[in-house]
Chain A
Amino acid sequence: MDILVIILLAFGFLFFLGGAVGIIRMPDFYSRLHPAGKLDTLGIMAMVGGLALYNLHHFSLGTVLLSIKMMLIVFFVFMSSPTATHSIVDAGMRAGLRPWTRKPKNNTIQPRETGKE
């Protein structure tokens, strides 16, 4: 079981690291939100899952309840984090922020006039 916990923690660490690097290295708003929304969700799933498993070393009602509570946190993050990212992207599109493209002439970000939808 220890091996499984270590694998899960390392997996989560790898994803968190990827997410952090992605947030810093990605070129614009939308592509930065992509690692923020996706990798944090999977990272927290793996990490808290591993910790919840580790918590079950002393198997009793208390530790089982605690593990269930930890998995509940994972569940709520799993639901709300991608939704929050989605709504932020939606607001960005509505406010007129153009996505980044490779061509240099479109690279400058200029707000479009906000018309009525």
Chain B
Amino acid sequence: MKLFGFIIVCLTGGLLLYGTGELPDWGDPHSPASIHLSNDYIEHAMEQTEVPNLVTAVLADYRGYDTMFETAVVFCAGLACFLLLRDFRPKKEYYYRHVPTGVVLHVKNNERQIAPGKEFEDVDKDWVPSDTIIKTVCRILIPFIQIYALYVVAHGDFSPGGGFQGGVIFGSSFILLAISYNLKTLMKRVSEKFLGIFSAAGVLVYVGIGAFSMVLGGHFLDYSQYIPFFGEHHIRALGMLGVEIGVGMAVTAVMAIIYINIVSEGRHDEGL
């Protein structure tokens, strides 16, 4: 079986290498991409879209379909993680920490005999005592990280940034919270249902902006159809901002879903 896989990998790699022989040279000025496409974007993007950041203009306007399905792929990644890893079976073992003394009890029973409260604390199997320094620093840093993520999303069309990057930064703040405290603290703040709906809503915002321009009588993702609502000034930048918000929502939620499902093996109660 290993040999079989090795042969397949070698064949595919050889085919790909063979295929690269047909490609234009690296940085070839006569390749089709350098003759028509890039020049056209560089020359006309500013007057056509009024967006200073050409990369965002290409991503969210000229190639809006591409980015939309990228968002769908991100959503599918989160969905696949959920479907493959989520484990709804009840846990058999419980660990509790006696808060005043720090002793950890291991209860091997299906029924919870100790109610977690002031005296006993629900802890993980690989319990690590919480560290005050890390907790405090993360408590200070997480709001700044989240504000920075929103800044990156909002500035996508004027400076480097955008929905994917901003979403990843926002999702990483969730992950930082789960690492510095524990997973239960994160799950108390953002529930699984919320994350699922939020990631789907992100894709829906993107597709909805595209589809609503069809309702108004234009093409799919034709931002100029929104002129009656927002005026002509920077209308494409505004449309891109809406689309980027959708991307950011989807990426944020999917980051959290993937992390939560992987670290806790789908149980959502312990891990790291």
Known: A76-B144, A87-B131, A94-B128. A116 touches B104 (CB 8 A): yes
Q: Is A79 in contact with B137, judged by CB distance below 8 angstroms?
A: yes
B134 interface residue (CB < 8 Å to A): yes
Tell me whether B16 is interfacial, beta carbon within 8 Å: no
Shortest beta-carbon distance from B96 to chain A in Å: 13
Residue pair B133, A86 in contact (C-beta under 8 Å) = yes
> B137 to chain A: which residues have CB within 8 Å?
79-80, 83
**Closest residue of chain A to B131, judged by CB?**
A90
**Binary contact track A79-117/B, C-beta < 8 Å → 1, others 0:** 110010011001000100000000000000000000011
A79 to chain B, nearest CB (A): 6
A86 CA to B137 CA, complexed, in Å:
11
Nearest-CB distance from A38 to chain B (Å)?
15
- B134: A residues at CB distance < 8 A: 83, 86-87, 90
Which B114-137 residues have C-beta < 8 A from chain A?
126-129, 131, 133-134, 137
Q: Is the CB of A83 within 8 A of B128?
A: no
* Distance, CA A102 to CA B144, complexed state (A): 43
A79, B140: Cβ atoms closer than 8 Å = yes
- Once the chains are docked, how many angstroms separate the CA of A90 from the CA of B134? 11
**Interface assignment of B141: CB less than 8 Å from any CB of chain A:** yes
Chain B interface bracket (under 10, 10 to 19, 20 to 34, 35 or more) = 10 to 19
User: What residues on B are CB-neighbors of A94 within 8 Å?
Assistant: 128
Partner of A79, one of B126, B127, B128, B141: B141
Query: Would you call A80 and B131 a contact (CB within 8 A)?
Result: no
> Total contacts A to B, CB within 8 angstroms?
24
- List of A residues within 8 angstroms of B128 by Cβ: 94, 117
Q: Are A76 and B141 in contact (CB under 8 A)?
A: yes
B140 pairs with A117, CB closer than 8 A: no
From B104, B129, B133, give the contact of A83 (CB < 8 A). B133
A80 with B104: in contact, given A86-B133, A94-B128, A117-B128 (CB under 8 Å)? no
How far is it, in angstroms, between the C-alpha of A80 and the C-alpha of B138 when the chains are bound?
9
Q: How far is the CB of A115 from chain B (nearest CB, A)?
A: 11
Q: How far, in Å, is A76 (CB) from chain B's closest CB?
A: 7
Looking across the interface, which residue of chain A has its beta carbon closest to that of B126? A116
Near B by CB (< 8 A), chain A positions 64-84 give: 76, 79-80, 83
Measured CB to CB, the closest approach of chain B to A93, in angstroms, equals 11
Whether B131 and A117, one on each chain, are in contact in the complex, defined by CB atoms closer than 8 angstroms, is no
Distance A90 CA – B135 CA, assembled complex (angstroms): 14
CA distance A16 to B119 in the complex (A): 48
B270 CB to nearest A CB, Å:
14
A94 to B223 alpha-carbon distance, docked (Å): 55
A71 to B209 CA separation, bound complex (whole angstroms) = 39
Interface residues of B (CB under 8 A from A): 104, 126-129, 131, 133-134, 137, 140-141, 144
Can you list 17 A-B contacts with CB-CB less than 8 angstroms, sorted by A residue number?
A: A76-B144, A79-B140, A79-B141, A80-B137, A80-B141, A83-B133, A83-B134, A83-B137, A86-B131, A86-B133, A87-B131, A90-B131, A94-B128, A116-B126, A116-B127, A117-B128, A117-B129
Q: Which 9 A-B pairs have the closest CB atoms?
A: A83-B137, A87-B134, A79-B137, A86-B133, A83-B134, A83-B133, A90-B131, A80-B141, A79-B141
* Apart from A79-B137, A86-B134, 11 more pairs, CB < 8 Å: A79-B140, A80-B141, A83-B133, A83-B134, A86-B131, A86-B133, A87-B131, A116-B104, A116-B126, A116-B127, A117-B129
